[in-house]
Amino acid sequence: MTKRIALVTGGTGGIGSAICKKLADDGYQVIAGYYSGGKHEKAQKFQEEMAKEGYEIALAFGNITEWDSCEACVEGIKSDFGTIDVLVNNGGITRDSTLKKMSQDQWVDVINTDLTSVFYMTRMVVNDMINQGYGRIINISSVNGEKGQFGQANYSAAKAGMHGFTKAVAQEVASKGVTVNTISPGYIATSMIMEVPEEIRDGIRKGIPVGRFGTPEDIARVVSFLAHEDAGFITGTNVSANGGQYMH
C-alpha cells in the first residue's frame, strides 16, 4: 500500500521534529517544511541528524508568508511524492512587546507567519483532499491563543484566529472526508523555554498543575491521534495540551 503523505511546516524545529518522527513511526512519508531565513544548511543538518536516528525525512523549502512560495512548495511535493494527505500547520514565530510599544512590523510579521500562512498552506492542499475524499489538517495553536498573554497581543490574536479558521473550514469540508482540528500546547520544554532563566522557569512550572513542562513528544502524540484514519468523527475541535495550566 502506498504511504500516505504528511507535510509538517516548521518541521525542523523542536515540536516539528517530534511530529515528523512520530508520523514517520506511524508509517507516513513525512516532509519537513522549512524556511529558516533561507538557511538551507540548518535544514540539511536536521535531515542528517534524523537519518542517524533512522528516519528518512524529506525536506521542502518554502516561505509560508508568501502565496507563490507556498504554491511552489506544495507543487514540488506533489511532483516528487504525490498528493498531500496530512497537513500540520506548525510554523510560527513570536515578536513579543506590550501593545503600547509594539511596532507595525512586529504585528504584521506575527500575523503573517502564524495566521495568514495557515490560510495559504491549507488553501494549497484542500482541493486535492476534497477531490480524493480524504484529508487531515492539524493546526498548532497555543494556550496563549486561548487565554491571552501579557506582551503577546500579536501572537495571541494570531493563535486565536487560527482556531476560528479551523472551525469555519471544518464545516466546509466535513462531508468530504476531511477533518480540520487545532492543538493548543502549553509550555513545552524546547530550547526556547530552557534558555529562560531558571528562577523564571520555576515560576512557570509551579503554575502547571501536572508539575512539569510538556515535551515535544506530548504534542506529537496528539497530532498522531488526530491524523489517524480512525479520527474521522473529530473535527472543528481544539485539543488543549497544557498540563492543566488553563482549563475551560
Out of 28-32, 33-37, 167-171, which region has the weakest mean confidence (pLDDT)? Answer: 33-37
Quick one: average pLDDT of 153-167? Answer: 98
pTM listed for this prediction: 0.97
What order do you get walking across the sheet with 178-185 strand by strand? Answer: 58-61, 29-34, 5-8, 86-89, 135-140, 178-185, 238-241
Q: Which residue has the cell 513525512?
A: 30
Tell me: pLDDT of 116 over 70.
Answer: yes
Tell me: pLDDT of 37 over 90.
Answer: no
Tell me: pLDDT of 1 over 80.
Answer: no
Tell me: pLDDT of 118 over 60.
Answer: yes
| Contacts by 146-150, CB closer than 8 A, 24 or more apart | 146/184, 146/238, 146/240, 146/246, 146/248, 147/246, 147/248, 150/98
Q: What is the pLDDT of residues 188-236, one digit of tens each?
A: 998 778 877 888 889 999 999 999 999 999 999 999 999 999 999 999 9
Percent of the chain with pLDDT over 70: 100
Q: What is the pLDDT of residues 17-27, one digit of tens each?
A: 999 999 999 99
Quick one: average pLDDT of 24-50? Answer: 95
Cα angle 72, 75, 76; round to 5: 85
Residue 89's pLDDT is 98
Q: Which residue has the cell 468530504?
A: 176
CA atoms 221, 227, 232, 235: torsion sign: positive
Residue 78's pLDDT is 98
| Alpha carbon distance 161, 110 (integer Å) | 12
Q: What is the pLDDT of residues 71-87, one digit of tens each?
A: 999 999 999 999 999 99
3-class DSSP state for residue 4?
coil
CATH superfamily, domain 5-237, is NAD(P)-binding Rossmann-like Domain (3.40.50.720)
Cβ atoms of 205 and 213 within 8 Å: the answer is: yes
Residue among 134, 155, 187, 246 flagged as catalytic = 155
**Exposure class string for 169-184: b at 16+ Cβ within 10 A, else e:** bbeebeeeebbbbbbb
Cβ atoms of 57 and 20 within 8 Å: the answer is: yes
What average pLDDT does the structure give for the chain? 96
Q: Where are the domains of the chain?
A: 5-237
Residue 190's pLDDT is 87
Sorting pLDDT into bands at 50, 70 and 90, what band is 2?
confident
Active-site residue flag, 155:
yes
